[in-house]
Amino acid sequence: MYLNGAPLAADDALTVDFESAATVIDVLANDSDPDNDALTITAVSTPMHGTAVIGAGGVSYTPAAGYSGSDSFTYTISDGRGGTATASVNVTVNPASASNQAPVAVDDDGGVLKGYETDIDVLANDSDPDGDPLTVLSVEHTGPGNATITINPDNTVHYESIHGFSGDDFFEYTISDGRGGTATATVTVVVYELVGG
């Protein structure tokens, strides 16, 4: 009579960056089966500070937004012949300061005729040390002019001058790298007087 030996599941460790995308860990890499049966992952528990999903190549872990610290989950393997085993994955989510560098926002200049409008590509001279894509998070009118300032879907900033003001106007904009890093810069907009206006 053949007796099936249960598989052996060994604990794993995983380190991910703050607010990183899903990271796949091959939990089966250090597991084994005495009968050399092919092993599959049949279940994972729910981590307290993220999500764990069975997928191609192992288990995909995504940390919860804004969380850094320790997390863990368990997974169960099967040899397909009734034998199962469970092990833990201990996760370390790096803090934002250790895993992400803040973007760099550089002041900009623009110009528009009084009563007209323009789009300013404020991100053109901004950068991120980690190469993260940047977005404009917010704008704040800080100058003396009469203007409507909004963020366009393509992350340019729309400046609409209102009749009655000419001269130097200002607004601040804040950018984000999507990983907790932000930076703020100032845009100077010269509102030109219409000839004969």
pLDDT digits (tens, 9 = 90+) for 154-182: 999 999 998 789 999 999 999 999 888 89
Query: 98-102, 111-115, 161-165, 183-187: lowest mean pLDDT where?
Result: 98-102
* pLDDT value for 18: 84
User: What backbone phi and psi angles, to 5 degrees, belong to 141?
Assistant: -75, 120
* pLDDT value for 10: 98
Strand partners, 147: 161
The stretch 184-197 carries a mean pLDDT of 88
* pLDDT value for 17: 87
Q: What percent of the chain has pLDDT over 90?
A: 78
pLDDT digits (tens, 9 = 90+) for 66-92: 899 999 999 999 999 999 999 999 999
User: Running DSSP on this structure, what letter comes out for residue 27?
Assistant: G
pLDDT band at 62 (very low <50, low <70, confident <90, very high): very high
pLDDT band at 99 (very low <50, low <70, confident <90, very high): low
* pLDDT value for 196: 63
What token pair was written down for 104?
A: 């760099």
* pLDDT value for 2: 67
pTM score, two decimals?
0.54
User: At residue 1, does pLDDT exceed 70?
Assistant: no
- Of 92, 82, 83, which is closest to residue 25 (Cα–Cα)? 92
- Of 66, 53, 88, 75, which is closest to residue 20 (Cα–Cα)? 66
> What are the structural domains of the chain?
12-98 (2.60.40.10), 108-192 (2.60.40.10)
The stretch 108-134 carries a mean pLDDT of 95
* pLDDT value for 133: 93
d(CA 78, CA 124): 53
**Which residues in 105-131 are b (16+ Cβ under 10 Å) and which e?**
beebebebbbbeeeebebbeebebeee
* pLDDT value for 14: 97
State the average pLDDT for the chain.
Answer: 93
d(CA 57, CA 66): 27
User: At residue 108, does pLDDT exceed 60?
Assistant: yes
CA-to-CA dists, residue 68 to 24, 46, 188, 190, angstroms: 18, 17, 38, 44
Residue 116: what residue type?
Answer: Y
* pLDDT value for 129: 92
* pLDDT value for 166: 92
